[in-house]
């Protein structure tokens, strides 16, 4: 084999490897939503460790002290008082999900469109409802309704009680990015089945967990994943928590917001 042929074979191998990695995109998740339901609000995983596994995602922080948004490789903490700041590398989380975002397809929204219509447009284009999709919606919102749970103190209440004291905000005429995932129904309890979305405004000063929105105009990008890596805690309250039950879907719906879809 001459030098030219050898270089070609190396390039072909590199290209095949790259395509394989893109095809096998992964969501890396720390702990489960069912653990949060049971009041497991302290985790050992740091922001620095989370960011080693992805550049896009969401979650929360220890004591439920803020909603987490990971966008373009930066982790933000959105607190109930309305403030937003970059999270410190040693901040810790009881739950987070991240991926390396790559756009499989995009949808341009050029007329006022409600949340249900946006998610329906995504559903019509995804390959399968049994795969996981990262969702990024960047644009201008006529209205966007968020909530942020207040920081909790031990002994921790279950999530359905903690969310009863949540701070709600209605943003109007605001630009920013909605970050989240569309997860299969069979993952309910491990993740939030359906759409789980957080919002960060354009100047990175506010946001929260999305309850509803009306998009004036913007662009929806969708990044599919066929692999889920689930990292479970090996210490703390997680080990003794009751993480199953017939009412788990109902409790998640209540904690996430009544208009969760």
pLDDT for 53-104, tens place per residue? Answer: 999 999 999 999 999 999 999 999 999 888 899 999 999 999 999 999 999 9
Walk along the chain (261 residues) in steps of 10 and give the mean pLDDT of each run: 60 54 80 97 98 98 98 97 93 98 98 98 98 98 96 95 91 98 97 98 96 98 98 96 89 76 40
The verdict on residue 2 lying in a domain is no
Q: Please answer whether residues 232 and 166 qualify as being in contact, where contact means their C-beta atoms are separated by less than 8 angstroms.
A: no
Residue 191 DSSP one-character state: B
The verdict on residue 3 lying in a domain is no
Q: Is 162 exposed, middle or buried (0-12, 13-18, 19+ CB in 10 A)?
A: buried
The verdict on residue 7 lying in a domain is no
Residue tagged 């009680």 (tokens)? 161
User: Domain holding 87: CATH number?
Assistant: 3.30.1330.80
Residue tagged 């607190």 (tokens)? 79
Q: Which residues pair with 151 in a beta bridge?
A: none
Q: What is the pLDDT of residue 120?
A: 98
User: How many separate domains does the chain show?
Assistant: 1
The verdict on residue 19 lying in a domain is no
Of 209, 222, 65, the C-alpha closest to 129 is 222
Structure token pair of residue 6: 């050898």
The verdict on residue 12 lying in a domain is no
The verdict on residue 142 lying in a domain is yes
Of 241, 77, 75, the C-alpha closest to 159 is 241
Structure token pair of residue 251: 């409790």
The verdict on residue 173 lying in a domain is yes
Look up the domain containing 194 and give its range. Answer: 24-256
Q: What is the pLDDT of residue 122?
A: 98
The verdict on residue 104 lying in a domain is yes
């Amino acid at each position: 084999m001459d030098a030219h042929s050898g270089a070609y074979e190396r390039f072909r191998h590199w290209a095949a490897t790259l395509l394989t990695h893109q095809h096998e995109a992964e969501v890396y998740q720390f702990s489960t939503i069912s653990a949060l339901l049971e009041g497991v609000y302290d985790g050992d995983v740091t922001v620095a460790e989370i960011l080693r596994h992805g550049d896009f995602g969401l979650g929360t922080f220890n004591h439920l002290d803020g909603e987490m948004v990971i966008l373009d490789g930066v982790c933000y903490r959105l607190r109930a008082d309305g403030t937003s700041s970059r999270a410190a590398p040693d901040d810790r989380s009881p739950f987070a999900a991240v991926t390396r975002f790559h756009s499989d397809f995009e949808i341009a929204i050029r007329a006022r469109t409600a949340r249900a219509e946006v998610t329906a447009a995504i559903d019509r284009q995804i390959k399968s409802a049994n795969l996981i999709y990262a969702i990024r919606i960047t644009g201008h919102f006529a209205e966007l309704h968020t909530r942020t749970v207040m920081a909790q103190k031990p002994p921790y209440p279950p999530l359905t009680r903690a969310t009863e004291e949540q701070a709600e905000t209605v943003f109007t005429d605001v630009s920013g990015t909605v970050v989240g995932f569309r997860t299969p129904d069979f993952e309910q309890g491990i993740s939030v089945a359906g759409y789980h979305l957080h919002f960060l405004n354009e100047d990175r000063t506010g946001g929260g967990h999305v309850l509803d929105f009306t998009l004036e105009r913007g662009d929806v990008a969708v990044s599919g994943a066929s692999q889920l890596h689930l990292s479970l805690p090996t210490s703390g309250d997680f080990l003794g928590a009751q993480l199953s039950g017939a009412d788990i879907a109902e409790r998640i719906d209540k904690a996430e917001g009544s208009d969760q879809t």
